[in-house]
Structure 1
Amino acid sequence: MTKKGYIITGIGIIVGLIAGYLYYYFVGCLSGTCAITSKPINSTLYGGLMGGLLFNIFVKKTK
């Protein structure tokens, strides 16, 4: 992967981290039984993973 690919994926991770925390903050799980949204760290890390994977789709592969 090129330097541009790492930058795009890194931006996706950052956007995902922010989106994951915002999801926890505004939606969350009040009962504590939800695996991902019951704690802010779980929701934030899951969002970062999903953001990185999503933005990695747009990276052009080198031969």
Structure 2
Amino acid sequence: MNILKNQKLIIIGATLGAIVGFFYWKEVGCLTGSCAIKSVWYNMTAYGLLLGGLFGSIIQGQFQKKK
């Protein structure tokens, strides 16, 4: 439970990134199928998860520096 409290912003960022990645694939996507990341839903969701987690980590680092 302590890990969840310490990594809360990273988990929230990763979750939001995965949701945004999925909806980006669904709405924009790649019509031809030649795009490596955007052509399959699970690739775009994983990419969004990764970017959201990294963004959450950056924000968490900024909050920890202030405390």
Equivalent pairs, count: 60
1:5–1:56: 8 Å Cα contact kept in structure 2?
no
Q: Does 1:39 align with 2:40?
A: yes
TM-score normalised by length of structure 2 = 0.81
Deviating beyond 6 angstroms after TM superposition, the runs of 4 or more aligned structure 1 residues are: none
Q: Distance in 2 between matches of 1:57 and 1:5?
A: 14
Please state if 1:30 is matched with 2:31.
yes
Structure 1 unmatched runs, 5+: none
Residues 11-61 of structure 1 deviation map (CA, whole Å, 9 limit, x = unaligned): 000000000000000000011100110000000000000000011111125
CA distance in 1 between counterparts of 2:51 and 2:58 reads: 11
Aligned-residue sequence identity (percent) comes to 43
- Separation of aligned partners in 2, 1:43 and 1:3: 25
Letter in 2 for 1:32: G
Output the aligned Cα RMSD.
1.5
Structure with more of its chain in helix, by fraction = 2
TM-score, normalised via structure 1 length: 0.86
